[in-house]
Amino acid sequence: MDWHGEGISVMEMSHRSKAFASIAEKTRDDLRKLMEVPETHEIMFFQGGACQQFSAMCQNLLGEGFPQGANYVTTGTWSEGAVKEAKKFCDAKEVTNNKGTKYSTVAPHTEWDIKPDASYFHFCQNETIQGFEFHDFPWEVIPEGQLVCCDMSSNFASREVDWAKFDLVYVGAQKNIGPAGLTIVILKKALFDRPARKDVVLTSHYQLFSKAANMFQNTPSCWAIYMAGLNIAYMLEQGGLAKMKERAIERSTMLYDYIDSSEGFYVNVVEKQYRSRMNVPFLVKDSDDMAKKFVAEARENGLIELSGHRSVGGCRASLYNAMTVEGVIALVEFMKGFKERNM
Amino acid sequence: MDWHGEGISVMEMSHRSKAFASIAEKTRDDLRKLMEVPETHEIMFFQGGACQQFSAMCQNLLGEGFPQGANYVTTGTWSEGAVKEAKKFCDAKEVTNNKGTKYSTVAPHTEWDIKPDASYFHFCQNETIQGFEFHDFPWEVIPEGQLVCCDMSSNFASREVDWAKFDLVYVGAQKNIGPAGLTIVILKKALFDRPARKDVVLTSHYQLFSKAANMFQNTPSCWAIYMAGLNIAYMLEQGGLAKMKERAIERSTMLYDYIDSSEGFYVNVVEKQYRSRMNVPFLVKDSDDMAKKFVAEARENGLIELSGHRSVGGCRASLYNAMTVEGVIALVEFMKGFKERNM
């Protein structure tokens, strides 16, 4: 209710006030530190979620004089969404699509059908709904000169990023970073000189946002920026990215190990090398009714938000940075008991 | 930290959870009640601020087969922004522009140059920066068959709306409604059947948002929706729209009366019939240095955020619904003292 003696809360502040500018600057600086973002890249705060970046990417990177095509790797719901949106703006090529396997794997990269005359190459590093994560991306497939764009919404801040490899990274904050309503865009600064499409919408315009810097192009989601700042500072205090990664591996390994040892009572269909450290979807006795029973009983035991996404059914445990190792231990214990009672 | 025994805060909830759906639904229902929105119109929650609606309007209303033109009344910074953005998408005609008067007035509507073959007619009901408000809009100028679109960001919930006259109303919430990050769009339901432009971006697509209803098309700004809901409920408790309007008139009349009686020490340049009840810009002894001194001393007296917008200078008192009558009394008392000390 009274931020640093201002007499008002952060929710009431003008986004152009000195007080708020200092909050936004600290959030950005701490994020740069946490994610080791080099000075070659700019950090910007947008609204609209990763979904808005699906069009922003096209509108900003496909200006006049650049190839009007792009490559998209489709490994789940979010990369599906990205290529669908891109088709409104350009010749968006799906280089591979493994929906037939329920996105449990991806075809070998040697079989990908890549458009040579494209402006950029897009992939989603972690598919929230399918629990599919690229731990080692086959970088060699990307044709020289194509920009690399990546949706890191759901695994950002859980692993290091080799920034030299990325031109555009976008992140809906509501997983590891802060409350919903904030989108982080990290762009190679050299791209600010690249002319955007004429129909780039004001609220997606990278160049304008960068120029406005802490003053912002339009009113940002102030509270979400403030909360993200507190959470980023907390992650730094906890030991930073190395610690976040270590815990992510610990949590997810524990859960996958138990699932794999459950004699088929619980099943995660994703090929091991692509299993997400953040999102663990699983079937319960291969039955939707059993999954519903699982979710209901888990809830009675204080274990919530375990439904799979409505588009795929089953269950899903999201093990974001805020989840404790103890939380996963409690989940596994509950899963053991539920199996005993329902074998 | 624990919303209704869920064990989590609203900031942590899934936007698809029952708990959050009930929050969003109540916010929407209460807003319908507060603003007396009839069932002919749908209420939707977007991100990106009013600025994003500048393009959303074009992308949704200018589909194939409809006239590719629109009329724009320019009365200040925000309507300038709207027409500038619209020019990316269509033949956007400024029917009048009174920048030459520093937007202190608008040309008589009989002189407006209106495009007959346009899809819609746009105006901004209250210009936040210039303090210009349409109290009586000259409805007779709008050609039959043209939709009426209106930016009500900064005076929404301070006066009644004659909904039969409006097809699209959009509102950046961060004035009278709630924290920044939420945009309210109220659309005549019949328009959901109107085909959008093919390049309508996912995060601005009215039809998709309406279909998704409380489940949302993409992750919304959950916390801002929750806070808006609390504030809307509070406004209803206080006596609703009639009370909000009564207080807005009381606050603004008090301040304008004092300014006009200050023998030119303080000056508001806006023609009386267009003076805003929400935003009162004023010059101090016609001097930017004096305005700066005023802002600094006011701050020492606990009266904050009194700088004019960086684009126009001077001072500005924003008298939104959250401002008390006592707050305005304190401001006027301070203004009197400042005048005595600096005449």
Model confidence over B176-219: pLDDT tens digits? Answer: 999 999 999 999 999 999 999 999 999 999 999 887 766 677 89
pLDDT in tens, B263-300: 999 999 999 999 999 999 999 999 999 999 999 999 99
Cβ distance of B220 and A47 shorter than 8 Å:
no
What mean pLDDT do residues A156-164 have? 98
* Angle between helical axes of B240-260 and B325-342 (0-180°, round to 10): 10
Q: Is the pLDDT of residue A97 over 90?
A: yes
Chain B residue closest in CA terms to A203: B52
Nearest to B202 among A47, A85, A199 (CB): A85
Nearest to B181 among A16, A200, A224 (CB): A224
Question: Of A202, A237, A272, which closes a domain?
Answer: A237
When the pLDDT of each residue in chain A is averaged and rounded to a whole number, the result is: 96
Q: Determine the Cα–Cα distance for residues A145 and B147; give it in Å rounded to an integer.
A: 46
Q: Which residues of chain B make contact with A153, given a CB cutoff of 8 A? A: none
Cβ-contact A51, A63 below 8 angstroms: no
pLDDT of residue B217: 76
Q: Determine the Cα–Cα distance for residues B237 and B239; give it in Å rounded to an integer.
A: 5
Question: Of A222, A237, A252, which closes a domain?
Answer: A237
Residues B54/B55/B56/B62 CA torsion (nearest 10 deg) = 110
Question: Of B219, B238, B257, which closes a domain?
Answer: B238
A19 plus A47 within the same structural domain: yes
What Rg, from alpha-carbon coordinates, does chain A have? Answer: 21
What mean pLDDT do residues B305-326 have? 93
Q: Determine the Cα–Cα distance for residues B43 and B213; give it in Å rounded to an integer.
A: 9
The residues that bridge with B46 in the sheet, in sequence order, are B183
What mean pLDDT do residues A158-170 have? 98
Q: Is the pLDDT of residue A214 over 80?
A: no
Q: Categorize the per-residue pLDDT at B312 as very low, low, confident or very high, splitting at 50, 70 and 90.
A: confident
Q: Between the CA of residue B42 and those of B50, B94, B169, B236, what are the distances in Å?
A: 17, 28, 10, 20
A166 shares contact with chain B (CB less than 8 Å): no
Q: Which residues of chain B make contact with A55, given a CB cutoff of 8 A? A: 201-203
What mean pLDDT do residues B124-135 have? 98
The residues that bridge with A124 in the sheet, in sequence order, are A151
E-strand spans in B125-161? 126-127, 132-133, 147-151
Pure H helices in B87-199: none
A219 shares contact with chain B (CB less than 8 Å): yes
Q: Which residues of chain B make contact with A217, given a CB cutoff of 8 A? A: 51
Q: Is the pLDDT of residue A328 over 70?
A: yes
CATH number at residue B270: 3.90.1150.10
Cβ distance of B199 and A88 shorter than 8 Å:
yes
A-contacting residues in B 100-139 (Cβ below 8 Å): none
Interface test with A, best of B6, B11, B15, B47 (most A CBs within 10 A): B47
Q: Determine the Cα–Cα distance for residues B80 and B304; give it in Å rounded to an integer.
A: 28
CA A320 to chain centre: 11
What Rg, from alpha-carbon coordinates, does chain B have? Answer: 21
Task: With CA atoms as reference, report the closest residue to A15 among A154, A167, A193, A221.
Answer: A221
Pure H helices in B18-95: 18-35, 49-61, 77-86
Task: With CA atoms as reference, report the closest residue to A342 among A284, A300, A295.
Answer: A284
Cβ distance of B223 and A224 shorter than 8 Å:
yes
Q: Determine the Cα–Cα distance for residues B4 and B21; give it in Å rounded to an integer.
A: 14
pLDDT in tens, A37-74: 999 999 999 999 999 999 999 999 999 999 999 999 99
pLDDT of residue A215: 66
The residues that bridge with A187 in the sheet, in sequence order, are A42, A168
Cβ-contact A134, A150 below 8 angstroms: no
Percent of chain A residues past pLDDT 70, beyond the cut: 99
What mean pLDDT do residues A209-216 have? 74
pLDDT of residue B210: 84
Least confident of A128-137, A326-335, B170-179, B213-222: B213-222
Instruction: Please give the span between the terminal C-alpha atoms of chain A, in angstroms, as a whole number.
Output: 53
pLDDT of residue B215: 65
Interface test with A, best of B199, B301, B312 (most A CBs within 10 A): B199
Catalytic residues of B: 78, 151, 175
Q: Which two tokens stand for residue A153?
A: 């919404």
Q: Which residues of chain A make contact with B224, given a CB cutoff of 8 A? A: 181, 221, 223
Q: Which residues of chain B make contact with A177, given a CB cutoff of 8 A? A: none
A125 plus A146 within the same structural domain: yes
Cβ distance of B199 and A203 shorter than 8 Å:
no
When the pLDDT of each residue in chain B is averaged and rounded to a whole number, the result is: 96
Q: Determine the Cα–Cα distance for residues A234 and A216; give it in Å rounded to an integer.
A: 25
Handedness of CA B33, B39, B45, B48 (dihedral sign): negative
Instruction: Please give the span between the terminal C-alpha atoms of chain B, in angstroms, as a whole number.
Output: 53
Cβ distance of B218 and A49 shorter than 8 Å:
yes
pLDDT of residue A236: 98
A9 shares contact with chain B (CB less than 8 Å): no
Cβ-contact B313, B288 below 8 angstroms: yes
Cβ-contact B175, B278 below 8 angstroms: yes
**In sequence order, which residues have a C-beta less than 8 Å from that of residue B300 and are 6 or more positions away?**
none
Strand, helix or coil at B93? strand
A324 plus A308 within the same structural domain: yes
Chain B residue closest in CA terms to A303: B7
Chain B residue closest in CA terms to A222: B180
Q: Is the pLDDT of residue B138 over 70?
A: yes
A144 plus A220 within the same structural domain: yes
Strand, helix or coil at B169? strand
Cβ-contact B315, B306 below 8 angstroms: yes
Other CB atoms within 10 Å distance of the CB of residue A225: 27
pLDDT of residue A218: 87
How close A111 comes to chain B (CA, Å)?
31
CATH number at residue B128: 3.40.640.10
B-contacting residues in A 31-60 (Cβ below 8 Å): 47-52, 54-55
pLDDT of residue B213: 67
A224 shares contact with chain B (CB less than 8 Å): yes
Question: Regarding beta strands A183-188 and A41-46, do their DSSP bridges make them parallel or antiparallel, or are they unpaired?
Answer: antiparallel
B228 plus B258 within the same structural domain: no
The residues that bridge with A94 in the sheet, in sequence order, are A72
Identify the residue whose tokens are 């309503």.
A181
B163 plus B216 within the same structural domain: yes
Chain A residue closest in CA terms to B310: A16
Cβ distance of B223 and A304 shorter than 8 Å:
no
A223 plus A265 within the same structural domain: no
Nearest to A88 among B12, B88, B198 (CB): B198
Q: Which two tokens stand for residue A152?
A: 């890191």
What mean pLDDT do residues A295-311 have? 93
Question: Which 3-state string (H, E, C) describes chain A?
Answer: CCHHHCCCCCCCCCCCCHHHHHHHHHHHHHHHHHHCCCCCEEEEEECCHHHHHHHHHHHHHCCCCCCCEEEEEECCHHHHHHHHHHCCCCEEEEEEECHHHCCCCCCCHHHCCCCCCCCEEEEECEECCCCEECCCCCHHHCCCCCEEEEECCCCCCCCCCCHHHCCEEEEECCCCCCCCCCEEEEEEHHHHHCCCCCCCCHHHCHHHHHHHHHHCCCCCCHHHHHHHHHHHHHHHHCCHHHHHHHHHHHHHHHHHHHHHCCCCCEECCCCHHHECCCEEEEEECCCHHHHHHHHHHHHHCCCCCCECCCCCCCEEEECCCCCCHHHHHHHHHHHHHHHHHHC
Domain range enclosing B296: 240-342
A231 plus A245 within the same structural domain: no
A232 plus A244 within the same structural domain: no
Q: Which residue has the higher pLDDT, A175 or A216?
A: A175
Q: Give the strand order in the sheet containing A266-267.
A: A266-267, A279-284, A315-318
A296 plus A226 within the same structural domain: no
In one-letter notation, the amino acid at residue B65 is: G
Cβ-contact A129, A105 below 8 angstroms: no
Nearest to B223 among A179, A203, A304 (CB): A179
Q: Determine the Cα–Cα distance for residues A187 and A205; give it in Å rounded to an integer.
A: 12
A318 shares contact with chain B (CB less than 8 Å): no
Handedness of CA B30, B33, B38, B39 (dihedral sign): positive
Q: What is the tally of structural domains in chain A?
A: 2
A17 shares contact with chain B (CB less than 8 Å): yes
Cβ-contact B191, B167 below 8 angstroms: yes
Nearest to B221 among A50, A199, A221 (CB): A221
pLDDT of residue B306: 96
Handedness of CA A156, A209, A18, B303 (dihedral sign): negative
A78 plus A106 within the same structural domain: yes
A6 shares contact with chain B (CB less than 8 Å): yes
Q: Is the pLDDT of residue A233 over 90?
A: yes
Q: What is the pTM of this model?
A: 0.96
B180 plus B265 within the same structural domain: no
